């Protein structure tokens, strides 16, 4: 597997039905739990249905047309047998349905948990390039499609297979000639089934993919509704959604057309079987090789055989859609994680001052050029380091490697002398915390968002965290204080206020190394003063690395790292680098000129 392939979500397009089933049971073993009990129940249920045609034959040939005349006692027993068969069928049907529901929901719950958990382990590049709606559809609507099929389609499938097998056996017991007539009529369907299954599998694989694309097309303008309205692009947005819906309609229609072929062949085979049995049965009856009761029973048996075949065509359609969705979910789980938690085998480090070292680090994105080259940097404890450079110089990649969101292509990132790849996530995430440009807020209260990483923190500790960053007055200005709702993605707060919440969240985490990706968005002067004051307090007494977009941050830093084309080309304090009159001096002069112009 190439590096690029490793970052793409596995669609599982090449997996057959049996392979998908095996992989699905491996991921969700609950699906196969007690399978033999479910099979026996299904067999019992179909056995109850076979009682009726046998009872009809016995009633006509022995109860009504016996040598001694009608035997009403025998007829009554046959009626009782029918009632018993129906009751057994109903009870076995109930138990089979319950077992399938319990097993499928338990198994799919396991699959959902594993899929959602693995989403967080996916390569950063995969998460960035995969459309959110398409990714979400894999672990929501695709799983729902599988659930519906396993509970209802699975039930019908078990009943149909059992019913066909038992009906075939009883038909051969009554008349092998008529049984052969029935099977010959269904040869065209059975012969074409494999080819049609292949076509439907491919068609419904495209359908499930189009569902994901359609959800993405709908979700994006819903989330970005304000931008859509602000730029008056409602019509263009609607055209994009309409095009996505139309693509889905076309692919779904093509898939249904293939299903229609299968259903038509099944209906034709059933009609031919009924006509063939009636004709051949009359001829056998004339020759004395079949009784009236046997011919009537055979007509019942033909229905019991042909109905499941026709129903199976619809089940096959549902199966292709479900298996296409199943493959997409399994594809998420099968996509390898590029950053693996060593878990219990990993190193657990003591808390305290931290030393960071990049030892001959190189990094390249899949099938791309190196974006970091020969980075050899050592950062001492309690130092404030600013990282500057042009866009695309490697600053953000440096920060992602530092926090182990990605691993280097070669070389190593060392924390207190230990390779970051060997440190258990539980220890690493305690010691190293990254504050992104726009800290994501969840649709909950301010308190729940701040304590997100440490749910055990009390309200008193939260208030202390706000106070330590000088944000008590801002907190008190909110309508409900800690209980204030922040809205979806924190939309009830301004951009600057969201930054404040992200800083308090980092303060609660209390890391040894703080990595900040400085926000590029402008905030109002009052909030900017609060943000800067909170930052000063947050960075005090700990090692910090800031991806600086404003060079005022670099001016206040103990040390500045200057990146250019993936290399650290200059390093030193602000004044030292200005004196060198190199890249940093040029960037600083440009920043000063821009500030003056504004």
What digits encode the pLDDT tens for the residues 396-410?
899 999 999 889 999
What's the pLDDT score for residue 494? 83
Give pTM, 2 decimals.
0.66
Instruction: Tell me the C-alpha distance between 411 and 49, whole Å.
Output: 70
Band of pLDDT at residue 319, cut at 50, 70 and 90: confident
Instruction: Tell me the C-alpha distance between 476 and 529, whole Å.
Output: 17
Instruction: Tell me the C-alpha distance between 168 and 172, whole Å.
Output: 6
Band of pLDDT at residue 420, cut at 50, 70 and 90: very high
Instruction: Tell me the C-alpha distance between 558 and 567, whole Å.
Output: 20
Instruction: Give the helix ranges, DSSP H, for 372-494.
Output: 395-402, 425-431, 446-450, 459-468, 472-477
**Residue 150 per-residue DSSP state:** I
Average pLDDT of the segment spanning 136-163: 73
Portions of the chain given CATH number 3.40.50.300: 376-580
Instruction: Tell me the C-alpha distance between 314 and 255, whole Å.
Output: 12
Band of pLDDT at residue 488, cut at 50, 70 and 90: confident
What's the pLDDT score for residue 204? 76
Q: What are phi and psi of 559, to 5 degrees?
A: -150, 145
Residues 6+ apart with CB under 8 A from 518: 437, 546, 547, 548, 549, 550, 553
CATH of 7-334, one of 3.40.710.10, 1.10.10.10, 2.60.40.10, 1.20.1560.10: 1.20.1560.10
Q: Are 500 and 471 in contact (CB under 8 A)?
A: yes
Helix (H) or strand (E) holding 40: helix 35-58
Band of pLDDT at residue 231, cut at 50, 70 and 90: low
What's the pLDDT score for residue 260? 77
Least confident of 223-232, 314-323, 417-426, 445-454: 223-232
Helix, strand, or coil (residue 458): coil
What's the pLDDT score for residue 593? 84
CA distances to 24, 146, 167, 234 from 42, rounded to whole Å, are 22, 20, 14, 54
What's the pLDDT score for residue 4? 44
Within 13 Å and on the Cβ side, how many CA atoms surround 484? 20
Within 13 Å and on the Cβ side, how many CA atoms surround 427? 22
Band of pLDDT at residue 14, cut at 50, 70 and 90: low
Band of pLDDT at residue 196, cut at 50, 70 and 90: confident
Average pLDDT of the segment spanning 140-159: 73
Nearest Cα neighbor of 474 from 440, 444, 450 is: 450
Average pLDDT of the segment spanning 380-404: 91
More reliable by pLDDT, 2 or 429: 429
Portions of the chain given CATH number 1.20.1560.10: 7-334
Average pLDDT over all residues of the chain: 81
What does the radius of gyration of the chain's CA atoms come to, in whole angstroms? Answer: 35
**What percent of the chain shows pLDDT beyond 70?**
88
Q: Are 534 and 471 in contact (CB under 8 A)?
A: yes
Fold of the CATH domain 376-580: Rossmann fold (3.40.50)
Q: Is the pLDDT of residue 3 over 50?
A: no
Nearest Cα neighbor of 399 from 286, 287, 549 is: 549
What's the pLDDT score for residue 577? 92
What's the pLDDT score for residue 312? 67
Residues in the chain: 598
Structure tokens at 58: 């016995």
- In this predicted model, what pLDDT tens digit does every residue of 54-74 receive, in sequence order? 787 788 877 777 676 777 888
Band of pLDDT at residue 128, cut at 50, 70 and 90: low
What's the pLDDT score for residue 376? 94
Helix, strand, or coil (residue 384): strand
CA distances to 180, 183, 253, 313, 543 from 319, rounded to whole Å, are 29, 24, 17, 10, 56
Burial (CB < 10 A; 0-12, 13-18, 19+), residue 286, is exposed
Region of 360 on the Ramachandran plot (φ > 0 left; ψ -120 to 50 alpha; else beta)? left
Instruction: Tell me the C-alpha distance between 509 and 504, whole Å.
Output: 9
Q: Are 436 and 517 in contact (CB under 8 A)?
A: yes
Burial (CB < 10 A; 0-12, 13-18, 19+), residue 18, is exposed
What's the pLDDT score for residue 558? 92
């Amino acid at each position: 597997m190439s590096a690029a392939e490793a970052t793409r979500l596995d669609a599982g397009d090449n997996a057959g039905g049996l392979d998908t089933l095996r992989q699905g049971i491996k991921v969700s073993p609950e699906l196969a739990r007690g399978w033999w009990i479910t099979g026996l129940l299904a067999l019992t249920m179909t056995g109850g249905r076979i009682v009726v045609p046998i009872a009809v034959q016995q009633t006509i040939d022995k109860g009504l047309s016996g040598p001694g005349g009608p035997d009403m006692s025998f007829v009554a027993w046959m009626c009782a047998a029918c009632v018993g068969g129906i009751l057994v069928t109903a009870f076995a049907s109930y138990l089979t349905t319950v077992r399938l529901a319990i097993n499928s929901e338990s198994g799919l719950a396991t699959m959902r948990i594993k899929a959602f958990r693995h989403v967080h382990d996916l390569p950063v590049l995969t998460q960035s390039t995969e459309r959110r709606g398409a990714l979400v559809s894999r672990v929501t609507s695709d799983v729902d499609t599988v659930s519906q099929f396993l509970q209802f389609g699975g039930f019908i499938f078990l009943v149909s297979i059992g019913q066909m097998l038992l009906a075939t056996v009883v038909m051969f017991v009554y008349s092998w000639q008529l049984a052969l007539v029935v099977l010959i009529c269904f040869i065209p369907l059975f012969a074409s089934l494999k080819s049609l299954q292949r076509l439907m599998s491919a068609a419904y694989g495209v359908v499930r993919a189009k569902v994901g694309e359609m959800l993405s097309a709908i979700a994006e303008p819903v989330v970005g509704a304000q931008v859509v309205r602000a730029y008056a692009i409602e019509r263009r947005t609607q055209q994009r959604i309409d095009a996505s819906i139309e693509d889905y309609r076309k692919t779904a229609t093509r898939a249904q057309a293939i299903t229609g072929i299968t259903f038509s062949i099944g209906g034709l085979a059933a009609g031919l079987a009924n006509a063939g049995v009636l004709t051949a049965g009359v001829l056998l009856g004339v020759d004395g090789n079949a009784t009236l009761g046997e011919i009537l029973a055979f007509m019942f048996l033909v229905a019991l055989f042909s109905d499941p075949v026709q129903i199976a065509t619809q089940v096959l359609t549902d199966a292709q859609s479900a298996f296409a969705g199943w493959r997409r979910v399994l594809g998420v789980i099968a996509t390898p994680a590029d950053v693996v938690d060593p878990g219990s085998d990993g190193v657990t480090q003591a808390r305290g001052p931290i030393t960071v070292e990049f030892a001959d680090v190189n990094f390249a994105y899949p099938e791309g050029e190196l974006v970091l080259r020969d980075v050899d940097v050592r950062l001492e404890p309690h130092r404030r380091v600013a990282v500057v450079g042009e866009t695309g110089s490697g600053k953000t990649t440096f920060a992602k490697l530092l926090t182990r969101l990605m691993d280097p292509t070669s070389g190593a990132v060392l924390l207190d002398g230990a390779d970051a790849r060997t440190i258990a996530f539980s220890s690493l995430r305690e010691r190293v915390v990254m504050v992104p440009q726009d800290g994501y807020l969840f649709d909950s209260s301010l308190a729940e968002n701040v304590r997100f990483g440490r749910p055990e923190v009390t309200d008193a500790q939260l208030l202390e965290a706000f106070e330590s960053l000088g944000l008590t007055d801002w907190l008190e200005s909110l309508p409900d204080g800690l209980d204030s709702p922040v809205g979806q993605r924190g939309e009830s707060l301004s951009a600057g206020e969201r930054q404040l919440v992200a800083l308090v969240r980092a303060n609660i985490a209390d890391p040894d190394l703080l990595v900040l990706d400085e926000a590029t968005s402008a905030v109002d002067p009052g909030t900017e003063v609060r943000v800067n004051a909170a930052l000063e307090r947050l960075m005090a007494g700990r090692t910090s690395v800031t991806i600086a977009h404003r060079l005022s941050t670099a001016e206040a830093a103990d040390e500045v790292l200057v990146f250019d084309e993936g290399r650290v080309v200059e390093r030193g304090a602000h004044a030292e680098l200005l004196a060198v009159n190199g890249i940093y001096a040029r960037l600083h002069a440009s920043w000063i000129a821009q500030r003056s112009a504004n």
